[in-house]
Chains A and B, each alone.
Chain A
Amino acid sequence: MIPGLLILIAYQLVGELISYWLNWPIPGPVVGMLLLLASLRLGAVLWPRGWLVATETAGKALIDNLSLLFLPAGVGIFFLPDHIQAQWPAVLAAIVLATFISMVLCAILLRWLSRHHD
């Protein structure tokens, strides 16, 4: 567990530094994720074998409780400034209607693509 957390922290730190130095719009954790994926794909893992298992353990614990990790930030929707609350029709249009339309469009595209894929 601890080595796993160390690896995740190391990748995120490198990601943060790259994102900062190159002045990239991609957030540090995302750069870290892409770097970790690249390392795993290429088999270029410089740490001991057991540490990979520890990373899996730590990663699973975090991903299994992903919802909990964004709960505090999510509470914000109940404390919006008044001028945002006044725009509830726009918020609903984006969350409900736009999401449904986008799902339907993706589904139509996938049906078309699958027909040509298989």
Chain B
Amino acid sequence: MTERATGLLLIGATLLAYQLGLLLYRRAARRVWLHPLLTGTLLMALLLTALNISFAEYRQHTLLFDQLLGLATVALALPLHREFHHLKAFIGPVTVTVIFGGLVACATALGLAALAGGSHELLLALAPKSVTTPIALSIAEQLNANTGLTTGVVIFTGILGALMAPLAFRVTGLQDPRSQGLVLGINAHGVGTARAFETNPITGAFASLAMGLTGAFTALWLPATVQALTRGF
């Protein structure tokens, strides 16, 4: 097959895998463990294995998606701008929790993974796990981490975070929709935000705010800190 035909086939297959995942997700009343990212990536992995196409080759043909991801990141400024008045009214708790949560999400992941015997390479890829994927990918690139691993970790963190959030809210008795949105956006980024919008529009607005702010905050401190630490050794 020609290069162009292979590329077209792989882009088409990616769209189809996502669309099938989306249909299944909607039919299953948006159960989080059937998130189209989960089913879509699994379908694509099976297809690549069946066609004997390497992941590296697949990525070469799907760089278009990464370009669009950059633009989508810029576009996150739009919901941030739209919900700015909500942010202003709750600015204190938002700021404190985003800073605290951004640090804690990273620290708990690194701490527990190190305790469980994770290697230096794995820890680097895990560091941005709670950050929205486009930002996590940029951070991973700057840390020279395995970007495929980071993306996978980020996506599964989002899915599992959204899945475990109701339990965390019950354990702590957290009922305020603004606060619930913040917890989801800080710890489960885009997937958590999508779930938050399904609960309540205010929860969704705060989740997208928290997602954007946590991403920007982490992009500001994490690469610089790791570079400084690595230089120190």
Chain A residues within 8 Å of B, Cβ to Cβ? 5, 8-9, 11-12, 15, 25-30, 32-34, 36-37, 40-41, 55-56, 58-60, 62-63, 66-81, 83-84, 87, 89-111, 113-114, 117
Cβ–Cβ contact A110 & B41, under 8 A: no
Residue of A with least CB distance to B187: A103
- Using a CB–CB cutoff of 8 Å, the interface residues on chain B facing chain A are 14-15, 17-18, 35-37, 40-42, 44-45, 48, 54-55, 58-59, 62, 65-66, 68-81, 84, 90, 92-93, 96-97, 100-101, 104-105, 108-119, 121-122, 126, 129-130, 133-135, 137-139, 141-142, 146-149, 151-157, 160-161, 164-165, 167-169, 171-174, 176, 179, 182-183, 186-188, 190-191, 194, 212, 215-216, 219-220, 222-224, 227
A105–B79 alpha-carbon span in the complex (Å): 26
Whose C-beta in chain B lies nearest to the C-beta of A34? B216
- Cβ contacts under 8 Å, A92 to chain B: 116
What are 7 A-B contacts defined by CB distance under 8 Å?
A: A63-B75, A67-B36, A70-B37, A77-B153, A90-B116, A103-B187, A106-B97
Residues of chain B with a CB closer than 8 A to A25's CB:
142, 219-220, 222-224, 227
**Are B190's CB and A77's CB within 8 A?**
no
> B152 — which chain A residues lie within 8 A by C-beta?
74, 76-78, 80
Nearest B residue to A105, CB-CB? B104
Q: Which residues of the other chain, B, contact A63 by a CB distance below 8 angstroms?
A: 72, 75-76, 78-79
Is the beta-carbon distance between A37 and B80 smaller than 8 angstroms?
yes
- Tell me the minimal C-beta distance from A20 to chain B in angstroms: 12
In the docked arrangement, what's the CA distance between A34 and B108, Å? 28
Cβ-Cβ contact count across A and B, 8 Å cutoff: 327
Task: Find A70's partner among B69, B109, B187 (CB 8 Å cutoff).
Answer: B69
CA distance in complex: A32, B156 (Å): 27
Q: Let me know if B116 and A33 touch, CB within 8 A.
A: no
Q: In the complex, A62 Cα to B72 Cα: how many Å?
A: 5
Q: Chain B contacts of A74 at CB under 8 A?
A: 37, 40-41, 133, 151-152, 155
Q: Which residues of chain B come closer than 8 Å to A117, judged between CB atoms? A: 90, 92-93
- Provided the pairs A63-B75, A110-B97 are in contact, do residues A96 and B15 lie with their beta carbons within 8 angstroms? no
Docked pose: A40 CA to B161 CA in angstroms: 32
B176 CB → nearest A CB, Å: 6
Q: Closest Cβ of chain B: how far from A41's Cβ, in Å?
A: 7
Once the chains are docked, how many angstroms separate the CA of A71 from the CA of B10? 12
B71: contacting residue among A12, A79, A97, CB under 8 A? A12
Task: State the CA gap A100–B17 with chains docked (Å).
Answer: 29
Known: A12-B70, A89-B116. A95 touches B160 (CB 8 A): yes
Known: A78-B42, A90-B113. A113 touches B71 (CB 8 A): no
A68-B15, A94-B129 given; A113·B157 CB < 8 A: no
Q: Is the CB of B58 within 8 A of A91?
A: no
Residue of B nearest to A52 (CB): B78
With a CB–CB cut-off of 8 A, which chain A residues contact B148?
A: 73, 75-77, 79-80
